[in-house]
Structure 1
Amino acid sequence: MTNKYKYFVANWKMFGDIKTLNSLNKVAKLSKSIKFAKSKIIYCPPYTLLSNFVQNFKKTKIEVGAQNCHQSNVSGPFTGSINSKMIKELGCKYVIIGHSENRVNGDDNALINKKIKVSLDNKLKILFCIGENFKEKKNKKTKIVIKSQINSGLKNIKNIKNIIFAYEPVWSIGTGIIPKGHELKNNILFIKQLLKKKFKSKNPKVLYGGSVNAKNIKELRTINQIDGFLIGGASQNSNKFIDIIKKTFN
């Protein structure tokens, strides 16, 4: 890890309800521990729980983000949508953009670029997801895909200090399979070198996401180039999430 903090981003996807809020007190308590002072915990619940999470963590170091946003910066006839301005007004600090589950539903690189620009304008920090699918990996196009996603997604963006990158191989999400250590290290290094060269960024932040759990965290934590983790299923259970955080540092 080359950055000050180790990030733990809990992406709850379309899970969770009001009843789950009580279990978050354990995580809030952990965040106050001096032992885990170098951890940065971010929760990204469904839209329906954003306000509750912001209020719940108001007196803690835990921050809240949304899982996606509309590309428009103004209100309009976009049924079922919420834009980054609304997300910011709720008290959120982050927004996930480019997740593969949204890419498959129509979020191409051009649309992602618009969302990132608008979100940066609204002073949100971006959790920008990138990564190849299994076919692209098999055809040895991983680096080509990653470079294309970065170049297109960040078109006409010069400063990336408020962008955190999450390398999420599509074939790893929800499958229980993670990349081999040397492959993951090389891909993270490739992303960082690309960002340093293209944006003159001294310490770009790159997380790993894809089937992260309490078992494989012992292997993942040995890759020092990883600045944290974007965690899906395992983050929805506070005990499992805490276990991952503890094992990262112990």
Structure 2
Amino acid sequence: MRVKLAAGNWKMNGTRAALAEVDTLVAEHGAASVEVLLCPPATLLGAMAERIGEAQIAVGGQTCHPEASGAHTGDISAEMLADAGATYVILGHSERRADHGESNDMVRAQARAALAAGLKCVICVGETEAERDAANTLDIISGQLAGSIPDLSTGESLVVAYEPVWAIGTGRTPTLDQIGEVHDYIRAELERRFGTGVGRSVRLLYGGSVKPSNAADIFAVSNVDGALVGGASLKAADFGGIIDALEQA
């Protein structure tokens, strides 16, 4: 039975003052029946982990370097994330792929490093608007899955997030049928590659303008095990509404 997951990606947002939102989230959802994950900027990771304490909310990083240490100014290793209190890391987000040129090979190397450090990986896949319009969505997803996910991944260590690039932060969302088509395809590809046991145990998240008003409908779609939430995760009230919808799904 896959445990549903509500993951919040704060992206490049938040200072220490924003940790007050975490206090509210802990008070209201610190014992949720689904798994809750927050991925703040690296500057807040340690402080957030301490703030959460014993509550049932995990903390994760937003990327990591494929090397464990070295002369890589400005980068953060998976070991450093784990040392700061992280148990997860987001990898291959479309903004990292676009802004930093992270290829499938790079994401796979990062994921290997994360697994070696004991972190769970949330690996992101998704098509651009042009790729969707050209009816290339499933081909793009197939290539990203094959190239980005390490061979040693398991249902415990891997989460896959489908984020159509054209829906991130735009207020636009695919139709429920479109979401279902991609999630069903990802599930089938994982089962084909890793076998039924692992393939069925990996959690699949949808990301792309998820908010309390549309969360329930999205969570009712086949093979949607939760959400990777951007802007709506910055406020406890909004993220809490998404957690509530996931608990009721």
What is the Cα deviation at residue 21 of structure 1? 1.2
Contact 1:196 1:203 in 2 (8 A): no
1:99 aligns with 2:97: no
Q: Unpaired segments of 5 or more residues in structure 1?
A: none
1:64 aligns with 2:59: yes
Contact 2:6 2:246 in 1 (8 A): no
Q: What's 1:80 paired with? A: 74
Contact 1:50 1:64 in 2 (8 A): yes
What is the Cα deviation at residue 20 of structure 1? 1.3
Task: Provide the TM-score with structure 2 as the length reference.
Answer: 0.94
What is the Cα deviation at residue 221 of structure 1? 2.1
Amino acid across the alignment from 1:246:
D
Q: What's 2:24 paired with? A: 26
Contact 2:4 2:203 in 1 (8 A): no
Taking the aligned partners of 1:204 and 1:46, their CA distance within structure 2 comes to 26
Q: What's 2:234 paired with? A: 236
RMSD: 1.3
1:196 aligns with 2:191: yes
Q: 1:111 aligns with which of 91, 106, 109?
A: 106
Taking the aligned partners of 2:231 and 2:141, their CA distance within structure 1 comes to 24
CA deviations 1:73-130 (Å, max 9, x no partner) are 2x21111111101111112100000000000021011111110111111110000000
Q: What's 1:131 paired with? A: 126
Amino acid across the alignment from 2:57:
I
What is the Cα deviation at residue 30 of structure 1? 2.6
What is the Cα deviation at residue 12 of structure 1? 0.2
User: What is the SS of the residue equivalent to 1:206?
Assistant: strand
Amino acid across the alignment from 2:91:
I
Amino acid across the alignment from 1:226:
V
Taking the aligned partners of 1:197 and 1:30, their CA distance within structure 2 comes to 40
Q: What's 2:208 paired with? A: 210
Aligned-residue sequence identity (percent) comes to 32
1:248 aligns with 2:235: no
Contact 1:69 1:95 in 2 (8 A): yes
Taking the aligned partners of 1:246 and 1:154, their CA distance within structure 2 comes to 30
Amino acid across the alignment from 1:103:
R
Amino acid across the alignment from 2:124:
C
Q: What's 1:12 paired with? A: 10
Q: 2:117 aligns with which of 115, 118, 122?
A: 122
User: What is the SS of the residue equivalent to 1:215?
Assistant: helix
Of Structure 1 and Structure 2, which has the larger fraction of its residues in helix?
2
Q: What's 1:164 paired with? A: 159
Q: Unpaired segments of 5 or more residues in structure 2?
A: none
Amino acid across the alignment from 1:243:
G
What is the Cα deviation at residue 239 of structure 1? 0.9
Contact 1:196 1:204 in 2 (8 A): no
Contact 1:130 1:146 in 2 (8 A): yes
Taking the aligned partners of 2:228 and 2:30, their CA distance within structure 1 comes to 21
1:174 aligns with 2:172: no
Amino acid across the alignment from 1:204:
V
1:51 aligns with 2:46: yes
What is the Cα deviation at residue 160 of structure 1? 2.6
Taking the aligned partners of 1:125 and 1:158, their CA distance within structure 2 comes to 12
1:186 aligns with 2:181: yes
